[in-house]
Amino acid sequence: MENIGEYISRITRLANRNKQLNEQLQDLVGRYEVIQDQNNRYQSLLNEYSMGEADQQTVGRKKMTRYPMVSMMFITIRGFRNLYNHPKATELVDLLDELHMLINDIANKHSLLKMKTIGDSLLFASGIVEKNRTNPINILMAAKEMQEAVKVRSYDLNNRKPFWELGIGVHTGPVTAEVTGKKNNPYNLLGESVNITYRLCRISDTGKISLSAMTFEMVKEFFNINRWGNLPVKYKGAIDVYHLSMIKPELSIDGVGTEPNKDFFIKYGLIQFMDIQEQILDRLEKQLPKSLYYHSVKHTIDVVTEVELIGWAEGLTEEEVLLLKLAGLFHDCGHIISYQNHEFYGSEIAREVLSNYNYSVEQVETICRLIMATKFPPEPKDKLEEVICDSDLDYLGRSDFIPVSDTLYQELKERDMIGTYDEWNKMQLNFIKKHQYFTKTARNLREVNKQSQIERIKGLLQHDHDFVGQKS
């Protein structure tokens, strides 16, 4: 009996010891989770501040890139619970491979990059390979198309509903991308934005597209969106969550909210213009000859600003203003190639660049026609040509006319295209006397001031004449 008692006592001691060790383990796990959360928070802050000063850094041997605005979409394929005892379970599982291919094809169509695949969950991103301001719209258009395609392809006639369905979460925010060197998954995304996207997918109702408040704010002009609730996020509190409904009726074909119409793409183009402008201005800064004192980046910006101002004032449509802004952006790009016939070369550059965007042949040809209309002397044949011609010669009626015209003189003088400064002023005076603005807006804005410039040029000529007389 004593042996049995000792055995029971020993088992009891071991059980108590095991309980103590288990409690210590749980305490260590808890402390580890707290430390890990703190580490993730500090790493996120480190990325935010240290990588904000430089777009790219190398951490250890891995290249890290900070992106201020990327849209991410986390997708889960749902329906596995319904496979149990299903008569066509094998066929339905085989269908998954086809659905993955379908999702990938749609992602490629909308220029999304696959970041990660975990079983039947996928992470896509827009705005990494090509930085752009339209990435939230691109990713939602892809999400809608994926939802519909999977529903149609996996529709179960017996149950009268899709067998496989998608849960989708979309968020837009800053991320840090780590280059993996892998062909299928070239980047590993880090940061809180990735976690938010994943959680939005987890809470998303089957067949719904859940999006964050950040994404909502950037796409609300294009889609009907309903507020659903909120999502708790560490260190941020609760963030609003929305459900995507459909494209706004007025921006969709036949007003049904499924396919975007021309008005949708025009509105989209006005946002996309900022990306094109950034690209072209950067190109001009790097490639324009340094001796272009007048036909500089500043002149291009002035013309783009002026066509928009005059265009809206003249009652033009959104599409017409967009085409004018693009023409203004490209109208002097040809100087990269040649000073002579730069309008022609600018048109060629416009055709090349805009072929990468969703502009119709007719729209591109209109842009090129407007570029050619800036050829001197101006002879506009319609309202759009009048607007861009007035914008191109806007400086004639501005208060800074003399210093601006001096840069043009310097530019021409360096190319042996003009004589003395006195000859230049005489030529300017002759031209400005004959010149007239074509649009009512430009006449109201600049004509009065233009007349004062005539007197200023006369004053310069008189001053030069008096100086020559005194010297002789």
Token pair recorded at residue 216: 């909502």
For residue 188, list its beta bridge partners. 178
pLDDT for res 5: 57
Helix (H) or strand (E) holding 423: helix 421-434
Spatial contact of 382 and 324, defined as CB atoms under 8 Å apart: no
Which of 215, 235, 259 finishes a domain?
A: 259
Token pair recorded at residue 439: 């649009």
pLDDT tier for residue 231 given thresholds of 50, 70 and 90? confident
Peptide bond between residue 136 and the one before it cis (omega within 30 degrees of 0):
no
Domain with 401 in it: 265-471
pLDDT tier for residue 6 given thresholds of 50, 70 and 90? low
pLDDT one-digit tens code per residue, 7-40: 455 555 655 655 565 555 455 545 545 555 555 5
Amino acid identity of 15? Answer: A
Q: Are residues 1 and 17 in the same domain?
A: yes
Report the share of the chain in percent with pLDDT over 70: 84
pLDDT for res 50: 43
Q: Are residues 456 and 434 in the same domain?
A: yes
pLDDT for res 383: 97
- CATH number of the domain that 60 lies in? 3.30.70.1230
Q: How far is CA 115 from CA 163, 177, 194, 228, in A?
A: 26, 10, 11, 27
- Examine the pLDDT at 74 and tell me if it is beyond 90: yes
Sign of CA dihedral 275, 281, 286, 287: positive
Q: For every residue of 154-216, which 3-state class applies, written as one string?
A: CEECCCCEECCEEEEEEEEEEEEEEECCCCCCCEEEECHHHHHHHHHHHHCCCCCEEEEHHHH
Task: Tally the residues of the chain.
Answer: 472
pLDDT one-digit tens code per residue, 100-147: 999 999 999 999 999 888 888 999 999 988 888 999 999 999 999 999
Spatial contact of 211 and 203, defined as CB atoms under 8 Å apart: no
* Mean pLDDT for all residues in the chain: 85
Backbone angles phi, psi at 284, to 5 degrees: -65, -45
Q: How far is CA 125 from CA 74, 142, 186, in A?
A: 9, 11, 12
- CATH number of the domain that 444 lies in? 1.10.3210.10
Place of tokens 């200023």: 456
Q: Are residues 228 and 97 in the same domain?
A: yes
C-alpha 456/C-alpha 462 separation (Å) is 10
Place of tokens 């800074």: 400
pLDDT for res 466: 45
Q: Is 57 exposed, middle or buried (0-12, 13-18, 19+ CB in 10 A)?
A: middle
| Number of neighbours of residue 104 by Cβ within 10 angstroms | 16
pLDDT for res 4: 55
Mean pLDDT of the 249-259 span = 95
C-alpha 337/C-alpha 343 separation (Å) is 10
Q: Are residues 243 and 270 in the same domain?
A: no
Helix (H) or strand (E) holding 359: none
Sign of CA dihedral 376, 377, 380, 385: positive
pTM of the model: 0.79
Spatial contact of 349 and 333, defined as CB atoms under 8 Å apart: yes
Q: Are residues 315 and 391 in the same domain?
A: yes
Spatial contact of 145 and 114, defined as CB atoms under 8 Å apart: no
pLDDT one-digit tens code per residue, 188-225: 888 899 999 999 999 998 889 999 999 999 999 999 99
Q: Are residues 242 and 178 in the same domain?
A: yes
Q: Are residues 253 and 133 in the same domain?
A: yes
Pairing of strands 209-212, 161-162: unpaired
Backbone angles phi, psi at 174, to 5 degrees: -80, 145
pLDDT for res 32: 45
Which of 229, 259, 289 finishes a domain?
A: 259
Q: How far is CA 39 from CA 34, 46, 51, 242, 435, in A?
A: 9, 10, 17, 30, 68
- Examine the pLDDT at 461 and tell me if it is beyond 80: no
Q: How far is CA 442 from CA 93, 202, 318, 319, 447, in A?
A: 67, 56, 19, 21, 7
Which of 236, 259, 282 finishes a domain?
A: 259
Please tell me the least confidently modeled range out of 60-69, 274-283, 437-446: 60-69
Q: Are residues 68 and 37 in the same domain?
A: no
Q: Are residues 405 and 447 in the same domain?
A: yes
In 3-state terms, what secondary structure has residue 148? helix
Spatial contact of 169 and 150, defined as CB atoms under 8 Å apart: no
Report the share of the chain in percent with pLDDT over 90: 58
pLDDT for res 29: 47
Angle between helices 262-287 and 342-354 (to 10 degrees): 130
Q: Are residues 2 and 133 in the same domain?
A: no
In 3-state terms, what secondary structure has residue 406? helix
Spatial contact of 146 and 75, defined as CB atoms under 8 Å apart: yes
For residue 59, list its beta bridge partners. 62
pLDDT one-digit tens code per residue, 42-57: 555 544 444 444 444 5
Mean pLDDT of the 325-329 span = 98
Q: Are residues 308 and 437 in the same domain?
A: yes
C-alpha 171/C-alpha 214 separation (Å) is 7
Mean pLDDT of the 400-410 span = 92
Please tell me the least confidently modeled range out of 45-49, 72-76, 457-461: 45-49
Selected residue with higher pLDDT from 160 and 275: 275
DSSP secondary structure code for residue 378 in this structure: P
Q: Are residues 285 and 358 in the same domain?
A: yes
C-alpha 343/C-alpha 27 separation (Å) is 74
How many domains does the chain divide into?
Answer: 3
pLDDT for res 62: 63
